[in-house]
């Protein structure tokens, strides 16, 4: 499946705005009058589908004018006290709804999800599983969700998410920029606004891999610093959660990992030993005593690797 998509940033912004409304629809008059630059793109692309006709239209400052069908002109019209009967162009009377299936398919192409995966509706009109894709070296489950600001939607989302616990790591893409602050996600799951994952240059939408990879690696980078899913730490760094596994650390080992994480994933051994308050070499610090014998910690040479010249780094990929 190709990752090349054709949807302008302005068109997507309108679609997301509609998805965050109670009814994801728009009248023809508003679409053509207020959003003329994207109207044709959304209609011809199938992102907006006809859904009947409006019963009324906004009229000056007097409120709404009721539309009636005229058999002679075979069109809609309304009566104005100042101008009499006024015929309304057909495209102004139509009502359009967001074609969710079309948008979900666009998202699948954006994230380069293989065709063999089918979209699964997890909660009607709210939560969907899009499939599995590869981002860097990660095999990631992709989801899409809308309107989590509603209490009922949020409760259903949390319930369904527990049932999806086996599908990790996972990125849940939200139509809204607002993420519920009280929401606690399982390990290896990230919830992020779609707009945050898009490249900020160009007229058309494209995926910004530089924004997605920090989510997976858990590095402290900008807006996504607390939502990494491939690599996470407990507050005291005594536990490391990496690719679905949990590893325990001693106090000195935790100090080393904390320093590496704080320094952006790379640091010199002198700094790391100072943080651990020891003169021991790192390979000795990263040992555990098991049944009377010293063995290397599972994270040594897998997550924590030597770069040479005394530098070490976190290789979360």
Q: How far apart are CA 78 and CA 94, in angstroms?
A: 15
Residue 63 token pair: 């409120």
C-alpha 23: how far from chain center: 21
At residue 198, the 3 state secondary structure works out as: strand
Q: Counting Cβ atoms within 10 Å, is residue 155 exposed (0-12), middle (13-18) or buried (19+)? A: exposed
Residue 13 token pair: 């912004």
Query: Cβ of 57: how many Cβ atoms within 10 Å?
Result: 19
Predicted confidence (pLDDT) per residue in 4-22, tens digit: 458 999 999 999 999 998 8
**Consecutive H or E run containing 279:** none
Q: How far apart are CA 195 and CA 213, in angstroms?
A: 15
Q: How many CA atoms lie within 13 A of 200 on its CB side?
A: 3
Predicted confidence (pLDDT) per residue in 63-98, tens digit: 667 778 788 877 788 888 778 888 877 777 788 999
Question: Does residue 280 come out as left (phi exceeding 0), alpha (psi in the -120 to 50 range) or beta?
Answer: beta
Q: How far apart are CA 59 and CA 88, in angstroms?
A: 12
Residues of the chain with pLDDT below 70 are 1-5, 54-64, 182-184, 186-187, 217-230, 235, 244, 317
Predicted confidence (pLDDT) per residue in 153-185, tens digit: 999 998 998 888 778 788 999 999 888 875 667
């Amino acid at each position: 499946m190709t990752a090349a998509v054709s949807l302008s940033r302005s068109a997507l912004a309108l679609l997301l705005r509609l998805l965050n409304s109670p009814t994801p629809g728009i009248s023809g008059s508003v679409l053509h009058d207020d959003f003329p630059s994207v109207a044709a793109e959304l209609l011809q692309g199938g992102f907006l589908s006809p859904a009947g006709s409006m019963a009324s239209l906004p009229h000056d400052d007097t409120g709404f004018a009721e539309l009636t069908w005229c058999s002679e002109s075979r069109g809609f019209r309304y009566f104005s006290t100042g101008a009499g009967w006024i015929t309304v162009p057909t495209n102004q009377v139509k009502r359009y709804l967001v074609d969710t299936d079309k948008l979900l398919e666009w998202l699948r192409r954006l994230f380069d999800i293989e065709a063999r995966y089918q979209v699964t509706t997890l909660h009607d009109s709210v939560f969907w599983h899009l499939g599995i894709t590869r981002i860097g070296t990660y095999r990631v489950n992709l989801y899409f969700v809308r309107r989590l600001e509603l209490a009922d939607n949020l409760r259903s989302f949390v319930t369904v998410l527990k049932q999806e616990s086996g599908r990790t790591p996972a990125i849940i893409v939200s139509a809204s920029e607002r993420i519920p602050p009280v929401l606690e996600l399982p390990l290896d799951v990230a919830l992020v606004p779609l707009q945050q994952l898009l490249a900020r240059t160009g007229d058309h939408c494209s995926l910004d891999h530089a924004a997605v990879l920090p989510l997976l690696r858990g590095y402290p980078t900008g807006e996504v610093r607390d939502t990494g899913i491939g690599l996470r730490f407990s507050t005291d760094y005594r536990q490391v959660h990496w690719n679905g596994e949990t590893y325990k650390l001693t106090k000195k080992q935790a100090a080393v990992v904390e320093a590496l994480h704080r320094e952006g994933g790379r640091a010199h051994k002198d700094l790391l030993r100072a943080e651990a308050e020891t003169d021991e070499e790192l390979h000795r610090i990263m040992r555990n005593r098991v049944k009377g014998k010293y063995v290397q910690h599972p994270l040594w040479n897998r997550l924590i690797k030597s770069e040479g010249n005394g530098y070490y780094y976190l290789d979360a990929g």
